[in-house]
Structure 1
Amino acid sequence: MPDCGVYLHWPAEGESWIHPEDVATVRQLIPSRRVLRRLHWDGRYYQLQYGRHRMRVRPTLWTRVEGVDLEVGEQVELLSKMGKNDAGIYRIAEIAFLPQVQQVVYYLQRGDLRMNHPFRREDLRPLHVRHRLRSDFYKFEPPGFDRSADIELLDVGDLEADDER
């Protein structure tokens, strides 16, 4: 975690899978093609995020979506792509999943003007690079040291300290 996914259909459990304080938010965002970010598990609920919206839900069937590294509200540069796009700095208004083609698309806005054309990830460049460390990603073992095989021991005889004379 974190990972991303969508609820394309309302789960069969009614509202019992939603934290009671988050029912209104969940009803507003689910079901849809919006790509939600699952942040963590507290032992009973997953905490989900979509832009400024946060909600808690119990484990239910959702469609996992791979390769989403941008977030709603994040500023990005729209690349020109040889004049195909109106290049500039935009904010991500929505991240959606197209199940027919198994693809994630991004809808952008500048100020109050929202663009209706979806863009692919290749059309966007994030303005800020976020570095995330993953625990247990790097596993370094200290090199082994077998003294008997690597070093020939030197016999120095009996050693005496200077203060014993």
Structure 2
Amino acid sequence: MPKPQRETQYSESLPLKPEADYVMLQRWPQDGDDWIHPDDRGMAAGMIPSDRIFRRELQEDGYYELTYGPRKIRVRPVMCEDAPKPVFEIGQFVKLKMAFESDRTETGRIFAIRYSQYHDAPQYYLIRGNMKSRTPYLADALELFTPEGKLRELDESEKWTTPPPEGGQ
């Protein structure tokens, strides 16, 4: 059952805006396409309906912005299905946690995130080399890829200080 529509709350000192949520549009609404911003109708026709998981965020002009990787579609409030929040984003480089029978690390870039009814979770599709994978992966099978010797953005480490030279202060 869809969540009731959230109202935007404002205060004079601190304007508050609802946080982003994640939705799917698995059916085309019956009321035509007036709910889509006129400049975005062509792109929406190729992406909706589908099992893609969109990030939805309310904009100041009253439209919701649906983001799917680099693509953004502006829509008026319309019935959407809630979707679980993805762990990874389109464009991120990931590696497979278990690459069987291989000494090398299997890595790829996420090009699609789609909802799996069977797993009730997002599934990630990768580009490896020049090939788009047809195999979907769950978040448990992936981790962010970082080249050796570099920290991931989200890693935290203690500040390292240079040890004092031997025999001196």
Same fold at TM > 0.5: yes
Counterpart position of 1:7: 25
Change (3 A) 1:129 1:69: farther
Q: Is 1:115 matched up with 2:143?
A: no
Say if 1:100 and 1:29 are closer, same or farther in 2 by CA, change over 3 A: same
Q: List runs of 5+ in structure 2 lacking aligned partners.
A: 1-18, 146-151, 156-169
2:86 pairs with 42, 57, 68, which one?
68
The TM-score, its normalising length taken from structure 2, stands at 0.69
Change (3 A) 1:87 1:6: farther
Measured in 1, the distance between the counterparts of 2:53 and 2:60 equals 21
Match in the other structure for 2:109: 91
Q: Which runs of 5+ in 1 are unaligned?
A: 132-165
- 2:72 corresponds, among 39, 54, 60, to 54
Q: CA deviation at 1:112?
A: 1.9
Equivalent in 17, 20, 33 of residue 35 of structure 2: 17
User: What is the distance in 2 between the residues matched to 1:9 and 1:84?
Assistant: 42
After the TM superposition, which parts of structure 1 deviate over 6 Å for at least 4 consecutive aligned residues?
A: none
- Preserved CA contact (<8 Å) 2:57 2:64: yes
Q: Distance in 2 between matches of 1:10 and 1:109?
A: 29
2:7 corresponds in structure 1 to none
Rounded Cα–Cα distance in structure 1 between residues aligned with 2:134 and 2:51: 15
Aligned residues with identical type, % of pairs: 29
Report how many residues are paired: 130
SS of the equivalent of 1:47 reads: strand
Compared with structure 1, are the counterparts of its residues 57 and 114 closer, same or farther at alpha carbon in structure 2 (3 Å cutoff)? same
Q: In terms of mean alpha carbon deviation, does 25-34 or 43-52 score higher?
A: 43-52
User: In the alignment, what sits opposite 2:15?
Assistant: none
Q: Closer, same or farther in 2 for the Cα pair 1:112/1:94, shift >3 Å?
A: same
Alignment partner of 1:29 is 2:40 = no
- How far has the Cα of 1:66 moved from its partner? 1.7
Greater helix proportion: 1
Q: Distance in 1 between matches of 2:129 and 2:79?
A: 36
| Kept in 1: contact 2:21–2:85 (CA 8 A) | no
TM-score, normalised relative to structure 1: 0.70
